[in-house]
Structures are given as C-alpha cells and as structure tokens.
Amino acid sequence: TAVAVVFGTRPEIIKLGPVIAALGAAARPVFTGQHYDAALVDTFLAVAGVPDLKPALPGIGGTGRADQVSLMLSGLTALWRADRPDAVVVQGDTNTANAAAQAAHYLGIPVVHVEAGLRSFDRNMPEEINRLVISAVADVHCAATEENAEFLLRAGTPAESVHLTGNPIVEATRAILPSEFARRRALADAGVTGPDFVLATIHRPENADDPDRLALILAQLALLGRPVVLPLHPRTRQTISRYEVPVPPQITVTDPLDHARFLALATACTLVVSDSGGVQEEVTVIGRPLVVVRNSTERPEAMRAGFALLAQPAEILDAARRLLDPAHLARLAHTPSPFGDGHAAERIAALTLAAIHHTPAAAEP
Ligand code: UDP
C-alpha cells in the first residue's frame, strides 16, 4: 500500500508529520517545493522525518497562483501516472493541496482532506477558494471540529464521507513542546531577558504586502509596553526593506524560527500577536492568549473558547488589554483545545487505509 502525503509549505509539514508517522510504511511523502526558503522548510522536513529534501517539482516556489497550481497539477499528474499511489492525503488550503487534490481526483485516486470544512466566507482570500476546490473533489473529509463538519454537510457533502477527527496540530504541538533547558536556550537566543514579552508573527498578504498597514501593526506592537520578538517571514521582510517600513526599537526581529524554538517562545510569552492560521490552533494547546490581526478568520473556535480576539491593526492594543485580564487568563489555563484530543492522526490514517479498500479503482477517462 502506498499513500502519497503531499505538502509544500511550513504548516502542512508540521500538521502532516503525525499523519506520516501514523501511516508508517505506507506513507510516501511528496514535497512540492511551494515554500522554497530554507528557513521555512529544512528543519521542518527533518522533524517530520522526511528523508529526501529535494522537491518533487523543482521551480514551483515564487511563481504566481495560476502558474503554481497548473505546474503542480501537471507535475503531480505525471508523477502519479508513472507511479500510482493508492490514496493521496492533502492538508489545509494551500495551492499545493489544491493542485494535488485535483490531480489525484482526475486520476481516480481517492483524496483524503485533512483540516476539511474550514470557511472564512471571504472570497478575497486565496485560501478560501482553495478550500472550496479541495472540498469539491475530496473523497474523505477529515474535519477538526463539529462546526467544520457542519459546513460541509450544509454544502451537500455526502454525510458518509465527513468524519470528525480533530486536527493533528494538537499532537504535533504536544510532541514538539521543548524541555525547560531547550526553552531557556531558545529565549536567550532570541534576546529575551525577562518573563514579560510579546511574540508576534505577520505574514498574510493583507498585512505583509501593504507597507502602511504593516507600519501601523508595528507601531501598535511597540505600544504594548513590553519587548516584542518578531520572527520575520521572508514575505514581510521584503516589504519592510523595499518600502523602508520603520521598525520601532521595542521590536527584536529574528529569522523564522524552527518549530521547537517558536513554541518555546510561545509558551513562555505573555501574549501572542499573529495573523497565522496554525498559531490560532497552537495557542489553544499551550493555553496562551492571542490577538489575531486579520479581517476574518476561519477558526472562530479559538475565539469562542476565549483564546483569541480578532483585531484590525489599530485595535491590537485594545484587544491585548482585554485578553490580559488576570481572571480571563486563569480561565484559559483550564480550557481544553477545541481542535482535537491529540489522536487525530491515528483516525486520519485509519480512514485513509479504509478508503483504499472501499474505493473501486477508477480508470482515467
Ligand atoms: N512557526 C514556526 N516558526 C516561526 C513562525 C511560525 O515554526 O518562526 C510555525 C507555527 O508554530 C505554526 C506554523 O508555523 O505551527 C504556522 O505557519 P504559517 O504561519 O506560515 O502558516 P499558516 O498557519 O498561517 O497557514
């Protein structure tokens, strides 16, 4: 049995690591190379236990959306026509997941979608369109939450194909939580000298590509009254240097961190400020408060459980004040993650193997 597990970006590698482990010898990892910056890829591949760091499809990273999807669609089609897997697993809402799901579907290979059923209802987000495309072609939908499953059912997805599995980010986060020693070293390396600091990440196009909006975010971070560590995504770094966006002295900029170091800072900090998708899930596992700097979110569960507040750039300070209320913080420490129980990957692996045996091999039209 061969299950192609496809990923192209940092968050996919993180979340599919436990699925690859649960599939054992059946897993055949395929890295498309959508993220091509070594800082976003190399250590993550090593941690996920992927032996071959060469992308299956060289030259994908850095091209436009249409080019990326079409290059990956034809590249993966050729790959799988020559060496056909029994099933294909994709994760989330990237161009990689979109192209891989389509390629597998057209070849008649069962498609398993991890983190299925997220919806922001914001069609300006490229990720939202990717989610809709993947949902349309997937055969097994692995939803992290009841609400995600509900969105799929309401859209007419056959009920027998929708499964509540949880999100493997829960076990991925728990597995990589650093020891006290590693934590102290990560803090020292990032220049953190006291216990009261903010960890921030900004990389979504709506924030990272707009120099005025980015400057406002950085100015608000400086107003939080504590040192800020900002591991800088290459996309954001590019805007800061191209438009000479001022970085206030309260902010220490670092390169992107490996996952263990990032979680070390996230567990130790007072507050996280981020526009990341995965970070909205991780804070619920480690019990930290998070200001989400975005127009919309497809993960309202983190907000409903009290971990996160959505804020426009000018509202960051206000949202931080509300989250840092001591009684609120005490409640968070005892609130379970709404994204799963830490056994999602086992369920996803079992569903994938079952799908292979239940789907009759379809001929390519
Ligand atoms: N992350 C990391 N190092 C960093 C910044 C983020 O390991 O310097 C991790 C973070 O813990 C989370 C994942 O990267 O698991 C999120 O990826 P990203 O924000 O790139 O993508 P998104 O989740 O928004 O799709």
- Got the DSSP string for 235-278? HHHHHHHHTT----TTEEEEPPPPHHHHHHHHHHSSEEEE--SH
Q: What are the structural domains of the chain?
A: 3-168+342-358 (3.40.50.2000), 178-332 (3.40.50.2000)
Whether 168 is in the pocket of ligand 1, judged by its Cβ within 6 Å, is no
The answer, yes or no, to whether residue 294 has pLDDT greater than 70, is: yes
Q: Express the helix, strand and coil content of the chain in percent, nearest 5 each.
A: 50, 15, 35
Residue 33: pLDDT band with limits 50, 70, 90? confident
Q: Smallest Cα–Cα separation from 53: which of 64, 40, 65? A: 40
Quote the CA–CA distance of 207 and 214 in Å, as a whole number: 6
> Ligand 1: which of 115, 201, 299 to mutate, judged by most atoms within 8 Å of the beta carbon?
201
Of all protein residues, whose CA lies closest to atom 9 belonging to ligand 1?
259
Give residues with Cβ within 8 angstroms of 312, minimum separation 6.
293, 295
Q: What type of residue sits at position 49?
A: G
Instruction: Please report the atom of ligand 1 found closest to the CA of residue 14.
Output: 15
Whether 201 is in the pocket of ligand 1, judged by its Cβ within 6 Å, is yes
Quote the CA–CA distance of 184 and 265 in Å, as a whole number: 9
Whether 279 is in the pocket of ligand 1, judged by its Cβ within 6 Å, is yes
Express as a percent the part of the chain with pLDDT over 70. Answer: 96
Quote the CA–CA distance of 203 and 201 in Å, as a whole number: 7
Instruction: Please report the atom of ligand 1 found closest to the CA of residue 9.
Output: 20
Of all protein residues, whose CA lies closest to atom 3 belonging to ligand 1?
257
Q: Is the pTM of this model over 0.80?
A: yes
Which of helix, strand or coil describes residue 149? helix
pLDDT (tens digit per residue) in 171-222: 999 998 878 888 888 888 888 888 899 999 999 999 999 999 999 999 999 9
Would you give the DSSP letter of residue 161?
Answer: G
> Ligand 1: which of 94, 258, 262, 272 to mutate, judged by most atoms within 8 Å of the beta carbon?
262
pLDDT (tens digit per residue) in 232-250: 999 999 999 999 999 999 9
**Mean pLDDT over each residue of the chain, to the nearest integer:** 92
Q: 44 vs 19, which has greater pLDDT?
A: 19
pLDDT value, residue 94: 96
Neighbours of 201 (CB within 10 A): 23
Residue 137: pLDDT band with limits 50, 70, 90? very high
Q: Smallest Cα–Cα separation from 232: which of 172, 276, 167? A: 276
Whether 112 is in the pocket of ligand 1, judged by its Cβ within 6 Å, is no
Residue 152 contacts residue 117 (beta carbons within 8 Å): yes
Would you give the DSSP letter of residue 29?
Answer: E
Whether 86 is in the pocket of ligand 1, judged by its Cβ within 6 Å, is no
pLDDT (tens digit per residue) in 88-101: 999 999 999 999 99
Of all protein residues, whose CA lies closest to atom 15 belonging to ligand 1?
278
Burial of 156 (0-12, 13-18, 19+ CB in 10 A): exposed
Residue 53: pLDDT band with limits 50, 70, 90? low
ipTM, 2 decimals? Answer: 0.98
